[in-house]
Amino acid sequence: MIPIVYNVRSVARRPVSTALTALGVGLVVAVFIGMLALANGFRAALAKTGSNANALVLRKGADSELSSGLGRDVASMVAADPHVANGADGRPLVSPEVYVLIPLGKVFDTTQVANVVVRGVSDQAWQVRSNVKITEGQRPTSGRAEVCVGKRLVQRFPHTGIGQTLHFAGRDWKVTCHFSAAGSAFESEIWGENEQFMPVFRGEVFQSITFRLKDPVAFDEAQRSLQADKRMTVDVHRESDFYTQQSQLLGQILRILAIMITSIMAVGAVFGAINTMYAAIASRAPEIGVLLTLGFRPASILLSFLAESAFIALIGGILGGLFSLPLNGIVTSTTNWSSFSEIAFSFRVTPLLLLLGVIFAVAMGVVGGFFPALRAARLQVVQALR
């Protein structure tokens, strides 16, 4: 075996070319990690929105809360269902909800309008959605025109501070609190009381009914009994499945984009790596001749050059990981086209992604180094030493 020191020293002897190649690989890896972190963050925000222990009732055939509509009669029938859990006060944990989108101007540029979700909830909703926590202020009082604002909206939209007044649907709404919801899509919503929102928006109709399951395992049974009920035509979804499904369209687009872009980039980078290694080997032909004369086998020369290429790529991979780290936590926003609402989420650079990035880099190095290394191994001693 040729000692690895040989490769490390060779690499160190041509610092500029090594640095350029490593930088190129690093940028590819950074884009790779960055794009997957974006897709990851988006999916995570929606996946965390729904709870496994909750069920969501929509009108049959509706594929989002926006397109659904349920009457008060359905709400009371669902509340009376035996699969619904009861709260500490003995009342069923059910939240019949009004769900609408309103246009809000952004802080930095009021001509940029986003469609923000306004959700009218029942008193129980704060218990049904166990991930929702009030971070500041007091919950809206029943019967008053008051709202609670998700914390991701606070920075980006004007008039969302506590004590300020938001104007929508032709009325003023006093902001009494801010809430967090473990990074989920709820944090991009405005919550108020359903009975307050009904008359100003769509009249006597709810868009969805969410309830806590008495036994999360018995979801199928609850689904069957509600969907079979002749008095109503509804679809019952597990809340977590519903929100995961809502993320599929855009999540898929982002992932496909990430894979497409990085694979084209990877091919380009591999071509570059092949060229660099060919050039490196061509200029070191005499060295290789010496190694062969000393009795090193062609196989160990192949291995040695592969290791060298992988080593350069590894430096690139680590660089790429470092480049992508500052992205972690950056908040961005886009429209989730499945629900047509704006959702804010953060890039999530996870250790797994970093590891993937490094593996990806090394793979590029090995692929790019293979043919040049093969050529090095096949050099004839006499020719190489001339």
Partner 1 sequence: MKYFGLILANLGRHKLRSILTILSVALALFLFASLRSVTTTLAASAQFGGARRLVTLNATGLVFPLPLAYGNRIKAMPGVTGLSWANWFGGKYGDGKRFFANFAVDAESYLRIYPEIVLPDDQKQAFIKDRTGALIGKRLLTQFGWKLGQNVTLQGTIFPGDWTFTVDGVYTPTDPAIGDDVLIFHHDYFDERIGRAGIAGWYIVEIDDPAHAPAIAKTIDDMFRNSSSPTKTGTEREFQASFATMWGNVSFLMSTIGLAVVFAILLVTANAMMMSARERTGEIAVLKTVGFSDTLLFTLVMIEAGVLAITGAVLGLGGAKLLYPAINFNGAGFLPGFTVATSTLIVGALVAIGLMLASGLVPAFRAARLPVVQALRHVE
The pairing of beta strand 171-180 with beta strand 146-150: parallel
Q: How far is the CB of 269 from partner 1 (least distance, A)?
A: 6
CB 208 within 8 A of CB 99: yes
Query: Dihedral of the CA atoms 24, 26, 31, 32 (nearest 10)?
Result: 120
Among 168, 169, 165, smallest CA distance to 202 is for 169
Exactly one of 223, 276, 304, 309 binds partner 1 (CB under 8 A); which one?
A: 276
Between 30 and 69, how does the x/- string for binding to partner 1 read (CB under 8 A)? xx--xx--x--------------------xxxxxx-xx--
User: Dihedrals φ, ψ of 73, to 5°?
Assistant: -60, -40
Judged by CB under 8 A, does residue 103 bind partner 1? yes
Token duo for residue 219: 């979801």
Q: How far is the CB of 378 from partner 1 (least distance, A)?
A: 15
Give, as ranges, the residues between 357 and 376 that touch partner 1 (CB under 8 A).
none
DSSP-derived secondary structure for 239-276: HHHHHHHHTHHHHHHHHHHHHHHHHHHHHHHHHHHHHH
Judged by CB under 8 A, does residue 233 bind partner 1? yes
Q: Which stretch binds partner 1 (CB under 8 A): 24-32, 138-146, 222-230, 302-310?
A: 24-32
Judged by CB under 8 A, does residue 198 bind partner 1? no
| Total residues at interface with partner 1 (CB under 8 A) | 63
Taking CA atoms, 300 is separated from 306, 374, 378, in Å, by: 10, 11, 11
Judged by CB under 8 A, does residue 356 bind partner 1? no
CB atoms within 10 A of CB 88: 7
Residue bearing tokens 């802080």: 107
Is the Cβ of residue 46 or residue 265 nearer to partner 1 in the bound state? 265
Between 116 and 155, how does the x/- string for binding to partner 1 read (CB under 8 A)? ----------------------------------------
**Nearest-angstrom CA–CA distance, 185 and 48:** 8
Judged by CB under 8 A, does residue 71 bind partner 1? no
Judged by CB under 8 A, does residue 299 bind partner 1? no
Among 117, 68, 66, 125, smallest CA distance to 93 is for 125
Judged by CB under 8 A, does residue 271 bind partner 1? yes
Exactly one of 7, 11, 25, 119 binds partner 1 (CB under 8 A); which one?
A: 25
CB 30 within 8 A of CB 323: yes
Is the Cβ of residue 127 or residue 245 nearer to partner 1 in the bound state? 245
**Nearest-angstrom CA–CA distance, 358 and 352:** 10
Q: Which stretch binds partner 1 (CB under 8 A): 4-12, 121-129, 274-282, 295-303?
A: 274-282
Q: How far is the CB of 21 from partner 1 (least distance, A)?
A: 6
Q: How far is the CB of 169 from partner 1 (least distance, A)?
A: 5
Judged by CB under 8 A, does residue 17 bind partner 1? yes
CB 18 within 8 A of CB 11: yes
Q: What is the CA radius of gyration of the chain?
A: 29
Give the interface with partner 1 as residue ranges (CB under 8 A).
17, 20-21, 23-28, 30-31, 34-35, 38, 59-64, 66-67, 100-103, 112-115, 168-170, 201-202, 233, 249, 253, 261, 264-265, 267-269, 271-276, 278-280, 282-283, 332-335, 337, 340, 342, 386
